[in-house]
């Protein structure tokens, strides 16, 4: 048993993982005419992987290092089994033909290795489920260099920005310093002109792919407020995925109204705890709320969280989006707090209570079990 575990852990070493990925690369169909091939597809994909792992900022820089830097040349040989690396323009020509979705199998293989090596167990949370954080990330941006697949953004000053973004799904755990990348989906030009459209359309493809590849893995999907819309939440529910999604009053006004009504009707659970140092924290939550008027049958739970400043009890750190004027919801919250404490209702805009803000999922909705 011990030797079996040792073997499993060896698979999770850098050389072991690169071997697993390379094996998947070798299964991708090479659409080039076989007679003219000098650099194989697995070799070129491995070289691209090395470029990222060696943190080279560009193909050209990697090209130069892989032909001149003896340490890199040695590592390419030892870790990636590469005697020779294609030039940056050759690499572009070869890799442009590979569909990004073909690389999905490599992520799946790494995930299986992590599972066999018992690493996945360290990430289990809430009855053996897994927190899957999904968010968009930028890979490239330029006002000068572009390609036909670039997304395009026109700035107010007339400047045209060309960029590439990807939606990335990563298994996270509050006690783990590392994360386990699970899947990715490029946001492509045809996904739309607005950031929201782009992420939403890419998210549709990503969720479907995750559902197909990990149908039996119980996920709790973590997402920002862009995901707090009916079609996306219904897709999550349809795939049997639980979720915790950050919301903002500007995008989910009706939820905040319903929450306030529930509070007034004593149908919300609320707790505020004061610590000896004068600081405090509190939360309010309610269950089974309609997402919005268009999706009354999509039911969610909602939680709000706030903190009270240690040195200034009048300074309430509210669970709002960053840097904007106190909105109706904040006034309501202060009115609610004041009515509980039988204190006069302060006007948050007049400097009575100062409002500061926090980020990171302070207001969230989650799936109704
Ligand atoms: Zn491009």
Residue 323 lies in a domain: yes
Q: Are residues 95 and 133 in the same domain?
A: no
Number of domains the chain contains: 3
- Does 106 map to a domain? no
Distance from C-alpha of 63 to C-alpha of 211, rounded to nearest angstrom: 38
Locate the DSSP E strands across the chain.
130-142, 151-154, 160-172, 180-187, 219-223, 242-246, 269-274, 280-292, 295-308, 316-318, 355-357, 364-367
Residue, of 6 and 46, whose pLDDT is higher: 46
pLDDT at 356: 32
Do 97 and 124 lie in one domain? The reply is no
Residues 281 and 327 in one domain: yes
Q: Residue 261: its pLDDT value, please? A: 92
Distance 95 CA to ligand 1 centre (A): 13
Distance CA 323, CA 248 (A): 13
Per the model's pLDDT, the better-predicted residue between 1 and 140 turns out to be 140
191 C-alpha to center of ligand 1: Å?
Answer: 14
Name the least confident of 106-115, 248-257, 302-311. Answer: 302-311
Which of 233-245 are b and which e, b meaning 16 or more Cβ less than 10 Å from the residue's Cβ? bebbbebebbbbb
Rounded to whole angstroms, the Cα distance separating 320 from 248 reads 7
Q: Report the separation in Å between the CA atom of 56 and the middle of ligand 1, taken as the mean of its atom positions.
A: 18
- Please indicate, yes or no, if residue 185 is contained in any of the structural domains: yes
**SS3 state of residue 212:** helix
Same domain assignment for residues 213 and 259? no
φ, ψ of residue 224 to 5 degrees: the values are -85, 180
Give the whole-angstrom CA distance, residue 355 versus residue 348. 7
Q: Specify if 241 maps to a domain.
A: no
Burial 328-344 (b: 16+ CB within 10 A, else e): ebbbbbbebbeeeeeee
Its pTM stands at 0.81
Residue 315 has pLDDT above 70, yes or no: no
Instruction: Please give the distance, rounded to the nearest whole angstrom, from the Cα atom of residue 149 to the centre of ligand 1.
Output: 5
Alpha carbon of 116 to ligand 1 centroid (Å) = 37
Looking at per-residue confidence, does 183 or 308 come out higher?
183
Cα angle 272, 273, 279 (rounded to 5 degrees) comes to 115
Is the pLDDT at 266 greater than 50? The verdict is: yes
Confidence of residue 322 (pLDDT cuts 50, 70, 90): very low
pLDDT of residue 147: 85
Decide if 128 is inside a domain: yes
Q: What is the pLDDT of residues 194-236, one digit of tens each?
A: 666 688 899 999 999 999 999 889 999 999 888 989 999 999 9
Does 216 share its domain with 282? Answer: no
127 with 71, same domain?
no
Neighbours of ion ligand 1 (CB under 5 A): 147, 149-150
Q: Of the candidates 91, 109, 95, which has an alpha carbon nearest to the alpha carbon of residue 30?
A: 95
**CA 164 – ligand 1 centroid, Å:** 6
Same structural domain for residues 215 and 262?
A: no
Q: Kindly state whether residues 123 and 94 are assigned to the same domain.
A: no
For 72, the domain range is: 2-101
Q: Tell me if 261 is assigned to some domain.
A: yes
Can you state the angle between helices 59-68 and 70-80, rounded to 10 degrees?
90
Mean pLDDT for the stretch of residues 36-53: 91
Condensed to tens digits (0 to 9), the pLDDT of residues 89-144 reads: 999 999 988 999 999 999 999 999 999 989 999 999 888 999 999 999 998 899 99
Distance 269 CA to ligand 1 centre (A): 49
CA of 306 to the centre of ligand 1 (A): 42
Distance 151 CA to ligand 1 centre (A): 7
- Residue 357 Cα to chain centre, angstroms: 22
Distance (angstroms) between ligand 1 centre and the Cα of 162 equals 7
Look at residue 111 and tell me if it is in a domain. no
pLDDT at 324: 28
Give distance in angstroms: CA of 29 to centre of ligand 1: 23
- Cα 142 to ligand 1 centre (Å): 9
At residue 335, the 3 state secondary structure works out as helix
Q: How far is the CA of 152 from the centre of ligand 1 (A)?
A: 9
62 and 161 within one domain = no
179 Cα–ligand 1 center, Å = 28
Q: What is the pLDDT, as a whole number, of residue 347?
A: 36
CA 189 / ligand 1 centre spacing (Å): 9
**Same domain, yes or no: 17 and 92:** yes
Gap from CA of 141 to ligand 1 centroid (Å)? 8
Listed residues 101, 134, 157: the one ending a domain: 101
| Listed residues 223, 243, 268: the one ending a domain | 223
User: Cα(328)–Cα(208) distance, rounded to whole angstroms?
Assistant: 38
Is 58 part of any domain? yes
Q: Pick from 202, 223, 244: which residue ends a domain?
A: 223
Does 178 share its domain with 214? yes
Residues 191 and 261 both lie in one domain: no
The answer to whether 296 and 275 have CB atoms below 8 angstroms apart is no
Select from 225, 243, 227, 236 the least CA-distant residue to 319.
225
Give the Cβ contact number of residue 322 at 10 Å.
Answer: 9
Q: Are 152 and 239 in contact (CB under 8 A)?
A: no
């Amino acid at each position: 048993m011990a030797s079996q575990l040792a073997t499993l852990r060896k698979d999770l070493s850098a050389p072991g993982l690169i071997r697993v990925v390379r094996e998947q690369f070798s299964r991708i169909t090479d659409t080039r005419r076989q007679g003219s091939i000098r650099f194989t597809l697995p070799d070129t994909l491995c070289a691209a992987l090395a470029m990222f792992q060696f943190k080279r900022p560009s193909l050209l820089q990697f090209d130069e290092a892989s032909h001149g830097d003896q340490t890199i040349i040695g590592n390419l040989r030892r870790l990636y089994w590469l005697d020779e690396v294609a030039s940056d323009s050759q690499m572009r020509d070869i890799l442009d033909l590979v569909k990004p979705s073909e690389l999905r199998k490599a992520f799946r293989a790494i995930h299986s290795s992590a599972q066999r090596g018992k690493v996945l167990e360290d990430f289990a949370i809430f009855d053996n489920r897994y927190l899957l954080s999904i968010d968009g990330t930028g890979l490239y941006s330029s006002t000068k260099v572009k390609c036909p697949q670039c997304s395009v953004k026109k700035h107010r000053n007339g400047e045209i920005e060309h960029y590439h973004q990807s939606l990335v799904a990563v298994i996270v755990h509050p006690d783990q310093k590392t994360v386990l990348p699970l899947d990715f989906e490029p946001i492509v030009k045809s996904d739309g002109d607005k950031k929201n459209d782009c992420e939403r359309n890419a998210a549709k493809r990503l969720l479907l792919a995750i559902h197909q590849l990990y149908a039996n893995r119980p996920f709790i999907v973590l997402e920002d407020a862009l995901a707090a819309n009916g079609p996306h939440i219904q897709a999550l529910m349809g795939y049997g995925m639980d979720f915790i999604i950050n919301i903002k009053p500007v995008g989910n006004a009706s939820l905040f109204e319903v929450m306030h009504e529930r509070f007034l009707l004593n149908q919300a659970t609320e707790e505020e705890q004061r610590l000896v140092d004068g600081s405090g924290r509190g939360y309010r939550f309610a269950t089974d709320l309609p997402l919005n008027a268009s999706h009354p049958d999509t039911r969610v739970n909602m939680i709000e969280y706030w903190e009270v400043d240690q040195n200034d009890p009048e300074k309430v750190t509210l669970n709002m989006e960053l840097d904007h004027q106190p909105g109706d919801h904040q006034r309501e919250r202060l009115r609610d707090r004041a009515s509980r404490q039988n204190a006069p209702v302060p006007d948050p805009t007049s400097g009575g209570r100062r409002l500061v803000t926090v980020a990171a999922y302070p207001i969230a909705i989650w799936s109704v079990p």
